[in-house]
Amino acid sequence: MKGDSQPDTTMKTKLITAGLSFAGFSFFAGHCLALTPFSDNFNAIKLDKINWLAGGEGGAKLKQDDGVLKFLVPVNKADEDYAFLELVPSRPGYDENWQVLLDVANTNSHRGNSGPGIWIANAEDGGDTVFFECYGKGPKGGFVASFVNNGLYNVGPDIGDNPGVSGGTIRISFNKTTKIMTFAYRVGKTAKWTKVATFSTNGVGGDRRANWNMNAETGLFVIKIYGFTEGRIVASGTETLDNFVLKEIK
């Protein structure tokens, strides 16, 4: 049920710090300054290091294996262990309609303390960030959206929906007219999408809102996929990411 998945909103503090320091580097590294459709099914033998830039902290890893990305943490080396892949060739714009899709699975029972997901940030200010994660089954499981403004969880509580499943497809879409992101999931490729939350990037409308002060013509978003855990061991294959898609909405 919506609202039942409410993990501690003090989580992911190190991810936010990483975004603050990392987004500026990525933005000026010569990347494409507009939406370029991109997809990856992670079926290759090795990770595509031309299109993905890896990062993280602690003992976390994202390993491409058996046709998926496996998030694993064999040893906790930090309070927050995380690993991410940042999409290099495309930065969808503030003046474009677009969506990101990702298959995620989580068979752990970590009660909201670990999960794979999508991480989107303002390219000019990494402290403006949203996360959308899969926490699997259980009373604190489900699909959960988190919202950050200026590096702080000051936008409002996380919003989640818990259908009692271990995975599905998550989607974040952006409307250039309303400047609103919509967070949704589906369980099964032919299933209907279930909306979890909306977030306004200009402070108008949405379930949660903040003014990210993005330039109407040149504003861009950084897209990352990641796994995160707070003090939990994550065995290989228990949390996975697959079938990434970034595309325009026409």
Phi/psi for 174 (5° steps) reads: -125, 135
pLDDT at 16: 62
Q: Are strands 114-122 and 159-161 parallel, antiparallel or unpaired?
A: unpaired
pLDDT digits (tens, 9 = 90+) for 32-77: 557 999 999 999 999 999 999 999 999 999 999 999 999 999 998 8
Taking a C-beta distance cutoff of 8 angstroms, is the pair 103, 239 a contact?
Answer: no
Strand partners, 18: none
CA atoms within 13 A on the CB side of 127: 10
pLDDT reading at 159 higher than 90: yes
Higher pLDDT, 10 or 102: 102
pLDDT at 8: 46
pLDDT band at 27 (very low <50, low <70, confident <90, very high): very low
Looking at residues 1-10, what average pLDDT do you find?
44
- CA-wise closest residue to 114 among 200, 15, 221: 15
Looking at residues 230-243, what average pLDDT do you find?
94
pLDDT digits (tens, 9 = 90+) for 164-174: 999 999 999 99
Q: Please state, in angstroms and rounded to a whole number, the distance separating the CA atoms of residues 20 and 26.
A: 11
Taking a C-beta distance cutoff of 8 angstroms, is the pair 226, 121 a contact?
Answer: no
pLDDT at 6: 47
pLDDT at 200: 98
pLDDT digits (tens, 9 = 90+) for 83-133: 999 999 999 999 999 999 999 999 997 777 899 999 999 999 999 999 999
Looking at residues 187-212, what average pLDDT do you find?
97
pLDDT reading at 198 higher than 70: yes
* Whole-prediction pTM: 0.90
